[in-house]
Amino acid sequence: MFVDIHHHLIYGVDDGAETFEGTQKMIRQAVENRVHAIITTPHITPGQVPFDFERYKAHLEETRAYLRAENIDLTLYTGSEVLYTPSTVYQLSEGRVPTLAGTRCLLMEFSPDEPFKDILKAGLAVAEMGYIPVYAHVERYECLKKPDQIARLRDESDGLIQVNASTLLRKHSFFRQRFIRRIFDDELVDFVATDSHDLPGRSNRMAEAFDWLSAHCGDETAHALTHGNAEKLLAQAVG
């Protein structure tokens, strides 16, 4: 059974399914992939794009009610994927940015061409407030093409690293594939999650990703990256 810490599930809320029927289909696919817990992570851009938190909460509760009514063994948690802006730290201090399951972990993303120094600066700012930066899909950033850059980001800000499940399953160039293998060999990744947005374009492929990890890294690492580490996070969940 897997835990997906990065999933855009809730319908009609930034880049989740467009309809409740779409959310139901995504739930069925998650269950088929042996996922038993999801942190819902709609996109939030603090200070730039208003986010309808009340709508998000209402749709989340409607989805939880559906799971109960259908007796589906899947637990949903609150969260967000924050596109880091200068307003992020202030809004975080005001309690206006949902963290992962109400913990001290904040899932953050950046523009693909964001300079390394700015990503690190953002992580340090979040860490100085007592939060743990979780860097979403690090494989996307132009400035993080070498494993030692990811290691530095992780070490200097006491951050956590997430990689998308689909990245493991996609065909890459020789050098790109070597980079992906290296960051796992060097134990630089903390979570593998789906970043699933909709069907069929951004599907849930967690079961396939587990098989890849098991084949390349061993069962123990595969379990940690798709379940164990996330369960440790959820042990502190409050929402």
> Which distant-in-sequence residues (6+ apart) come within 8 Å of 68 by Cβ?
none
Q: Token pair for residue 98?
A: 């949902």
Residue 131: how many CA atoms within 13 Å on its side-chain side? 26
C-alpha separations of 180 from 145, 162, 208, 212 in Å:
10, 12, 16, 12
Cα–Cα distance for residue pair 28/177, rounded to 1 Å = 31
Report whether 110 contacts 159 (CB < 8 A): no
State the CATH architecture for 2-234. Alpha-Beta Barrel (3.20)
Q: pLDDT tens digits, the chain, 239 residues: what are they?
A: 899 999 999 988 878 888 999 999 999 999 999 999 999 999 999 988 888 889 999 999 999 999 999 999 999 999 999 999 999 999 999 989 999 999 999 999 999 999 999 999 999 999 999 999 999 999 999 999 899 999 999 999 999 999 999 999 988 888 888 999 999 999 999 999 999 988 777 789 999 999 999 999 999 999 999 999 999 999 998 76
Angle (nearest 5°) at CA 4 between 180 and 1: 100
What per-residue confidence (pLDDT) applies to 153?
95
- Kindly state the helix (H) or strand (E) to which residue 134 belongs, with its residue range: strand 132-135
Name the pTM for this structure: 0.95
Element at 44 (helix H, strand E): strand 43-44
Tokens coding 93? 């201090």
- CA 211, CA 209: separation in Å to the nearest integer? 5
Domains in the chain: boundaries = 2-234
DSSP at 104: S
213 touches 187 (CB < 8 A): no
Q: Can you give the pLDDT at residue 239?
A: 66
How many residues belong to the chain?
Answer: 239
- Token pair for residue 90? 């202030």
Q: To the nearest 5 percent, what fractions of the chain are helix, strand and coil?
A: 45, 15, 35
> What is the rounded CA–CA span in Å between residue 140 and residue 39?
21
State the amino acid at position 146 in one-letter form.
Answer: K
**What angle is formed at CA 41 by the lines to CA 35 and CA 42, rounded to 5 degrees?**
135
Tell me how far CA of residue 56 lies from CA of 52, 59, 116, in angstroms.
Answer: 6, 5, 32
